[in-house]
Chain A
């Protein structure tokens, strides 16, 4: 490095380092040139190892970009068969029937089911997650903070398969009487209505409850990060004015963290939309379009794909098409969530986990 011939510190010609501003002209000129100094352009010549470093890391960064593009591309290619047969009605048809000729497949029922389960899950998860995040940032002592953070991380670490089997074999039976109660007494609300003598065990409601446990850690983590960045000066000011702790939270913490709550919820929504294995167990995976979430029935895109793995070529092509729809939907949701969180006052510096 020291022997770099481009830099000669000992150029004897004028005693000045190369590239300096030559003041001799101006001095000879007697008039003062004010404001003629322009910044020098500084360029660092990268070394060979730096170039390799830059190249390797940039390539790997681009690999991610390329991978995602490939996923979309190949799903699109493979789903051509299905689109050729089904056409635009793929997006409007509810049922999925490959036993007729030509096969009638449609993704509307799947999408509806996916969205319903995800919305139920997120609606249940948001208040619990905000509670947990508020507890960690504003109520807990240091010891309990660590316990609860660990608890949330543990909830996130448990595989969704285990949630699925627990939910299907145990929780469903405990929730069924609750569903029955709601169906009997609150059936004037369209969500809670059911048919006569309904089967209540494999319902989208119960699936939503189980998926909410998987969504909860994501929402809780993001909101906790956001709440922790609330400016302490504002919190102090609210308390010094004679506010109670809850008053301080309502006036300072929650408004500051609003974008984080929204962003975290959307991330959770994205997770719920993509949840596969738990809903495979919890739903019968027969496409339906209905508001009656308490009753057994319904399918989600990912669960439907999972139950029909290994089917014939045409069905697989249809599954690819459904997968493409799901991919686009979750991608859009996650990217919107990232943008919302990063653009808010509270979101600068938050990593959307």
Chain B
């Protein structure tokens, strides 16, 4: 089966253009969708205080204090294996799904600790969505059903499903390519399209925060560029936390950066976190400077 290329259906994206900071809202003029039974609307702040993570007895993340402001994109950068993805999974309570995993510290969503007894992980995950490194749409379901999957899983009611699907796909930058084939199977799309479908699916439940775990690492440059544009536009509506290996991507797409580092004897820690411009032009720590200059990693 031939995988459709994206260029065939859309005008070519200019890869050499600089970072686009101001994007027209693709949803301008559209009615807002209200969801019944879903999370409260708007972007939220996330704060980690003293977060530690274990896999069994192995400490992989130690004392992470990080504030991720609302309506901003925070990038987590650092060499591989230093706990960035683990930290990300702490933020939406996916870490505890691993057998033997433990954690300490607090993660505050708008000031409330998501790990407090009595708060369900399922509700946390409604408010904090996640997009994974490898695109994982539900291949046997149609594109439309994929987007609505989150509503179905959480029994969220929506009065205008068609409009919601369109808005989510518009936000994810996929609408024009699939508007005529919403009934096609989700698995029939190309890699970049699948990832954008996953973004649309995550956005459909209207979360307050979107976590992205190296979303472009498996994709070609055109798709990467599209998704970065999406991220840049998304920040107006929700908070984004993105883990990335690609420093240039962090520079292009984020407002804040946190530099993670782990060495042989030390578990992962945040060495420094500041605005992106500061991190890349004048970091406080020499290790940060060495990393952003490409001297290691």
Contacts and interface: CB of A to CB of B under 8 A. Distances in A.
Interface of A: 141-142, 231, 233-234, 236-244, 247-248, 251-252, 255-256, 345
Given A251-B149, A251-B153, A242 B94 contact: no
Interface of A is mostly: helix
Interface in B110-133: 122-123, 125-126, 129-130, 132
B154 interface: yes
Contacts of B94: 236, 239-240
A241 B154 contact: yes
Contact of A248 (B129, B153, B201, B205): B153
B91 to A, nearest CB: 11
A242 B205 contact: yes
Contact of A242 (B134, B136, B139, B153): B153
Contacts of A231: 136
Nearest to B133: A233
B125 A241 contact: yes
Interface size class of B (residues with CB under 8 A): 20 to 34
15 contacts: A234-B138, A234-B139, A236-B94, A236-B97, A236-B132, A236-B136, A238-B138, A239-B97, A240-B129, A241-B126, A241-B154, A241-B202, A243-B150, A247-B154, A248-B153
B138 A240 contact: no
Best-surrounded residue of A231, A238, A241 (most CB of chain B within 10 A): A241
A242 B150 contact: yes
A255 B123 contact: no
Contacts of B205: 241-242
Contacts of B139: 234
B153 A240 contact: no
A241 B122 CA distance: 8
B152 interface: yes
B126 A237 contact: no
A238 B205 CA distance: 12
Top 7 nearest A-B pairs by Cβ distance? A243-B153, A242-B126, A233-B136, A241-B150, A240-B130, A242-B125, A237-B136
A244 B132 CA distance: 19
A21 to B, nearest CB: 32
A247 B156 CA distance: 13
Contacts of A248: 153
